[in-house]
Amino acid sequence: MKQKTIFFLIVFFFHIKMNAQCAMCRAVLESGDDQSAAAGINDGIMFLMAVPYILVAVIGFFVYRTFNNSKKSKKTT
Task: Give the pLDDT score at 5.
Answer: 85
Check residue 10 and report its DSSP letter.
H
Task: Give the pLDDT score at 31.
Answer: 75
For the chain (77 residues), the mean pLDDT of every run of 10, in chain order, is 79 62 68 74 82 93 89 69
Q: What is the pTM of this model?
A: 0.48
Q: State how far the Cα of 31 lies from the Cα of 9, in Å rounded to an integer.
A: 36
Q: Which of helix, strand or coil describes residue 1?
A: coil
Domains held by the chain: number: 1
Task: Give the pLDDT score at 55.
Answer: 93
The whole domain housing 63 covers: 2-76
Task: Give the pLDDT score at 56.
Answer: 94
| Three-state secondary structure string covering the chain | CHHHHHHHHHHHHCCCCCCCCCHHHHHHHHHCCCHHHHHHHHHHHHHHHHHHHHHHHHHHHHHHHHHHHHHHHHHHC
